[in-house]
Structure 1
Amino acid sequence: MNTRSSRHRPRQQRSNRVWAMLAALVVVLVSGMAGCSVMGGDGDGDSQTPQVAAAHDRVDERGGTLKALSLGPVLSWDPQRISARDDAAFAGRTFLRTLTAYQPSTDPRNQSRIVGDLATDAGTPNKDLTAWSFTLREGIAWEDGSPVTCEDVRYGISRTFASSVITGGSTDALAVLAVPKLPDGKPVYAGPYATGATAAAGLAAYDKVVACKGSTITFTLSSPVSDFNEMVSQPAFAPVKKSADKGKDGTYEVFSNGPYKLASPWRASTGGSWERNPHWKASTDEVRRAYPDRIDYQEGIETQTVAQQIMADGDNSREAVSLGSAPPAIQQHIVTVDALKERSVTAATGLVDYLAPNLTSPIFAKVQARQALAVATNREAYVTALGGATTGRPTSTLIPQSLPAHHDEDPLAAGNRGDADRAKVLLGQAGLSLPVPLRVVYRSSPVADKAMAALVAGWTEAGFAPTLTPLKDDYFATIGQRSAAKSYDVFWSNWAPAWASASTILPALFDSSMNISAAGPGRDYGYFTSTATNAEIQVIGAMADRTKREEAWAALDVKLLEQGAYIGLAERRALYIAGSDVRNLSANEVIGGVVELADIAVRQ
């Protein structure tokens, strides 16, 4: 689990600044997935497809109270401050609507479909993808009955520029909108709270690039962004009504335009109750069904306690659902008891563990040596040590299953168990004498130690002599330092996409033009450098056709695997359980493998 973002040096090319900002954003999002990356438990390495919808019968009736239980803590409900993916998912399905959203579905293959939410459709770009327009639906209202306007959207996004007041959320708007920059790289616009002579000039600059004409909002971008309509599905692009904005004091303030509103002020570390927003109209919303009349959100409860309470199915738990993944030790019991399994779901989270060979190490100077490590890696052993099929699935690619760019290519024909004999041949072709010393660093935890140790046997059999170095504190900051390149040959890491495109994965990790500097590797821990890859990233990022663009990302990923740029290990999974009166339980893999609250219901 990444705990901090890498710092990248300023770039002259605007597009590279975009990728850098996206990289920092994803680190923030992944950091919020506390329930998804916990290592622990025992089990087998079965890579079966997750059961993303529970076996209980569906209901399509409104009513009842859903109890949502979570460890938390929620750090903010302010749209422009939300960073954790589970918080973003809850907000986006209950009280916060954005221009676009991902369509709920019990079929993971359909969960990446982007649709209009506040907007009538998924947006219209100009020919060169430097401007996007969205027209708002009629009849969408705030909780006080006033209409949600184009100006509300414009104002909400403007708050991101107030970086000294509004902190913690996505800063994509700063990266992609064509607001001019000052010599120090900061935008000339300082947000809606700025005062003084320069504030007026900054506002004028912002008004030119985020413009309203009636109910249509048009964004002018600093460079082509082909999936901008997916970027705006994030909370940071949500509307805020100016008169309801509490500024720096609005961390937990909620002014709803969705199906639910806060019944009383949010209590940090305890939670709050959500009741129906009487001004929400189902006819204006093709995303949320909003079946429960009320959602009682309780945070501050340990995940094991939550799971045990719901498994017991007592009077206070029959209408409850866990928003955090059950601990791996409990998961095995849940999936083997039919009465529990039928009210549980297992879903991929999009968070992928991987290894980055250090290309500055003499060991990995030749591609055959990197290929040998990939071929010698036993992913099934790694997953078994994590806790088995409910905690992860072996994968060779960083692109999660739910994304359109996902592929099942195994260009090195390594398989999930590895092939020691072939690895030895490749090491010979690389001109290395056996055994080959291998210094591997990883983020330590009790089960991480176990999982990494599970890889040692395969590597040893293939002719490597591995030495594992566990680090606990400031892991990503440590391996992001230049000195780390001299100390280690292989780096463990993980990554998750910010939205359903490989554009938030491959450029962030393997575009050396934005990552590698005198200060360190950025997120490119293995110092993978390829001018051809960098150029291809720019070309793909400017493709207008989504299908062709994601196919191109998949093809680029295969090339990266062939070059040994990285070695995929496992895509993490989460298991959720609900009480016996909960219906329509499912999980959405595109928005983080979280409980799908757009469709959940309570039996009456």
Structure 2
Amino acid sequence: MRQLSVISRRVAAAAVSLVLVGGAAACGPEGDDDAASGGERDAAPAKGGTLSVLNAVPQENFDPARLYTSGGGNVPSLVFRTLTTRNREDGAAGAKVVPDLATDLGKPSENATVWTYKLKAGLKYEDGSAITSGDVKYGIERSFAAELSGGAPYLRDWLVGGDDYPGPYEKKGKGGLDSIETPDARTIVFHLKKPEGEFPYLATQTQFTPVPKAKDEGTKYEEHPVSSGPYKVVKNTGDGERLVLERNPHWSAKTDPERHAYPDRIDVKSGLDSAVINQRLSTGSGADAAAVTTDTNLGPAELAQVSGDKKLADRVGTGRFGYTNYLAFNPKVKPFDDPKVRQAVSYAVNRTSVANAAGGSSLAEPATTYLPNQKSFGYTPYDHFPAGKTGDPKKAAKLLREAGYKNGLKITLTHSTAKDFETSPEIASAVQDALKKAGITVKLEGLEDNDYKETVHSVKGEPGLFLAHWGADWPSGGPFLAPIYDGRQIVRNGSNYNHAQLDDASVNDEIDAVNKLTDLDAAARRWGALDKKTGEKAVTVPLFHPVYKRLFGKDVKNVVISDWTGVLDISQVSVK
């Protein structure tokens, strides 16, 4: 999750102010769960044409070992297929995991420590050669190489022997990982250190992409990775700033019901100014009529201007990604060692003013639960310290008096000075103003973004109260709750995310119990119950969940935005 959090912050930072060219626009009705409504997007999709992708952030390190992504709706999924993938549907239906290269979601052992997958028959690379289980194994092994670092850390943590494996380029690693077996060309078996019922989710990560050993060029592999998906790379310049994809003639839709691959060509231009991206999409002239963005939001100023233009309104896609912005307490720092002080802050928060500071209700939905309000996470409604829409300063002041602070309280709130709508000065100021009404005087401590991250993730230097955020690597409560509340994940000499340094045996035991479940729906219900339980400890104050509003070109059809990524799914788009 850690890297995804960074990516999401960069995405949020892309929301900028500009006057839309071609007149004002109106976004769709608030509360509408559809990605967009009416217009060209509902026309029947057809094959052919070129889809342009206009992005702010370059698609760097286009190597499946180095990408921190499940390939959900973005470009990597067009080239890299994995054992499993996400269901390519709108909204909540798109938060389900489904088979991709594999015939099913995997067959677990009784205790979920051994997972066996069978590859589909007839799978081929772009050169027509067969994809084998050995290629999947090798693709995973090379992701352990130091020179190919950057991907998700789970395989190193989960696989037996993973923590010591140096990758296949080192003499010690040439024999491969013994915990991955390939008894035949279509079977692959994984041996894990402990039960992991959510292994099918992990198998969506690009590290599970097959890589033919004979074609591996180490760090140069990203220039032309061998495609297992519907498109192959024909150009990669500027470290992902310009990426051109064309059809893989050996890809078969019969083995891949998830990706439609309508366009003949995908032209990705990155490193663009966010204002320019939105301007080009709104105008929609020439090739930009068949263009999309997967990382640039409409910002508050833009949404304030969008009114009265039905055509543009029909070209605003709405996405929700499992992500929570919150206040984090460090109970090791006074006065936050007192639960009543933490509860007082919880009651005093004005979520309406916080949401307004984050861009308004169109871009930020107030939150009272740590888990996002989506079924796949196990969302269980609760509000242990009900502050209403604008806070409850009287209740907060009463708790402060009970805690011994009859004349009020002075505290410090740490935040980043970056304008990213998450830990920004504006949100910090909104919190400051709300707490003042309860007799809490808040001193704001703004740090340059790198200093902020180093400070809040250090056990030794972590402040008592700071703005924080978290997103999930896949739509489940597991990668959301465990890093924040599992006492065994406290990192004392590195980046720590268990900011409360909570080490509660009952919480740790429940995390272990849920990890054993291979029934993902049952696991979701347990994650929701655990969220409610940990919420009572008042070590976080959930503030809001972000909403993404993005334009797409007037010739773009078949818009699909799932709750897994919150991003328009390129594999579904048609431009003809």
Do these two structures clear the TM 0.5 threshold for a shared fold by scoring above it?
yes
Q: In structure 2, what is the Cα distance between the partners aligned to 1:561 and 1:380?
A: 20
The 1:47–1:444 alpha-carbon spacing in structure 2 relative to 1, beyond 3 Å, is farther
CA deviation string 1:332-374 (max 9, x = no partner):
3346632211011121233321111221233223322212211
Match of 2:405 in 1: 432
The answer as to 2:372 corresponding to 1:397 is no
Residue 83 in 1 paired to residue 55 in 2? no
Aligned length, in residue pairs = 559
Q: Take 2:235 and 2:336, find their aligned partners in 1: how far apart are those partners?
A: 59
Structure 1 residue 582 and structure 2 residue 556: aligned?
Answer: yes
AA partner of residue 117 (structure 1): D
> Cα gap change, 1:499/1:386 in structure 2, threshold over 3 Å: closer, same or farther?
same
Partner residue, 1:491: 466
Show CA shifts across 1:193-245 (max 9, x none). 223xx446x53xx2353333341211111111110111010001211111221
Deviations 1:232-264 (Å, cap 9, x if unpaired)?
A: 100012111112211122233321111111233
Residues 255-277 of structure 1, C-alpha deviation per residue, up to 9 Å, x if partnerless? Answer: 11111112334443641221111
**Structure 1 position 369 matched with structure 2 position 341:** yes
SS at match of 1:161: coil
**Does 2:81 match 1:97?**
yes
Q: 1:41 to 1:152 in 2, by over 3 A?
A: closer
Write the distance in 1 (CA, Å) between the matches of 2:534 and 2:31: 26
Matching residue of 1:192: 168
Aligned-partner SS, 1:316 = helix
Q: Distance in 2 between matches of 1:157 and 1:41?
A: 38
Give the corresponding residue for 1:463: 439
Contact 2:14 2:56 in 1 (8 A): no
* Aligned-CA RMSD value: 2.4
Change (3 A) 1:285 1:62: same
Q: Is the 8 A contact 2:36 2:314 kept in 1?
A: no
- Establish whether residue 502 from structure 1 lines up as the match of residue 485 from structure 2: no
Q: Is the 8 A contact 2:235 2:242 kept in 1?
A: no
Distance of 1:90 and 1:302 partners within structure 2: 19
| 1:479 partner letter | V
- 2:472 maps to amino acid: P
1:143 pairs with 2:161:
no
Q: Which residue of 2 aligns with 1:60?
A: 45
Give the counterpart of 1:117 among 88, 100, 104. 100
The CA distance in 2 between the partners of 1:171 and 1:522, in whole Å, is 14
In the alignment, which residue of structure 2 is the partner of 1:594?
Answer: 567
**1:503 CA drift (Å):** 0.8
Match of 2:243 in 1: 272
Q: Which piece of structure 1 moves more, 469-478 or 530-539?
A: 530-539
**Aligned counterpart, 1:360:** 332
Quote the residue 1:7 is aligned against: none
Q: How far apart are the structure 1 equivalents of 2:36 and 2:274?
A: 21
Report the counterpart of residue 177 of structure 1 in structure 2: 159
User: Which of residues 133, 137, 142 is equivalent to 1:154?
Assistant: 137
| Amino acid across the alignment from 1:354 | Y
Contact 1:101-1:233 within 8 A present in 2 as well = yes
Displacement, 1:483?
4.5
Give the CA deviation at 1:117.
0.4
Q: TM-score, normalised by structure 2?
A: 0.91
Contact 2:236 2:242 in 1 (8 A): no
Equivalent position amino acid for 1:366 in 2:
D
In the alignment, which of 147, 150, 154 is matched to residue 168 of structure 1? 150
CA deviations on 1:426-456 (whole Å, 9 max, x unpaired) are: 3233333231112110112346111221122
**Alpha-carbon distance, 1:50 to partner:** 5.1
Q: Please say if residues 41 and 387 of structure 1, whose CA atoms lie closer than 8 Å, have aligned partners that are also in contact.
A: no
Q: Give distance in 2, aligned partners of 1:335 and 1:398.
A: 33
* Secondary structure in structure 1 of the residue aligned to 2:325: strand
1:48 equivalent among 14, 17, 31: 31
Using the TM superposition, name which of 119-128 and 55-64 deviates more: 55-64
Question: Deviation at 1:122?
Answer: 1.0
Q: 1:405 to 1:142 in 2, by over 3 A?
A: same
SS, match of residue 323 in structure 1: coil
In 2, the alpha carbon distance for the partners of 1:335 and 1:572 equals: 22
Query: Would the aligned equivalents of 1:39 and 1:445 in 2 still touch at CA under 8 Å?
Result: no
Distance of 1:552 and 1:335 partners within structure 2: 43
In structure 1, the partner of 2:23 is: none
Answer whether contact 2:92 2:563 (CA < 8 A) is retained: no
The answer on whether the counterparts of 2:16 and 2:274 sit within 8 Å (CA) in structure 1 is: no
TM-score by length of 1: 0.87
Map of 1:379 onto structure 2: 351
Shift of 1:482: 4.2
Pairwise CA distance, 1:375: 1.5
Decide whether the 8 Å contact of 2:459 with 2:491 is kept in 1: no
Alignment of 1:203-242 (within 5 A): 203=176, 206-242=177-213
Larger mean Cα displacement after TM superposition, 48-57 or 536-545: 48-57
1:120-144 CA distance string (max 9 Å, x none): 1111101000000111111221001
Matched-pair contact (CA < 8 Å) for 2:377–2:527: no
Q: How far does the alpha carbon of each residue in 1:304-334 deviate from its partner, in whole angstroms, 9 at most, with x for none?
A: 1010111112123211112222341223334
Q: Could you say which residue in structure 2 is the equivalent of 1:322?
A: 293
Please tell me whether the aligned partners of residues 159 and 179 of structure 2 are also in contact (alpha carbons under 8 angstroms): no
% identical aligned pairs: 28
Q: Quote the Cα distance in structure 2 between the aligned partners of 1:515 and 1:27.
A: 14
- Name the structure 2 match of 1:23: none
CA distance in 1, matches of 2:238, 2:14: 30
Q: Give the conservation status (yes or no) of the 8 Å contact 1:81–1:251.
A: no
Aligned mates of 1:289, 1:269 — CA distance in 2: 24
Given residue 569 of structure 1, which amino acid in structure 2 is its aligned partner? L
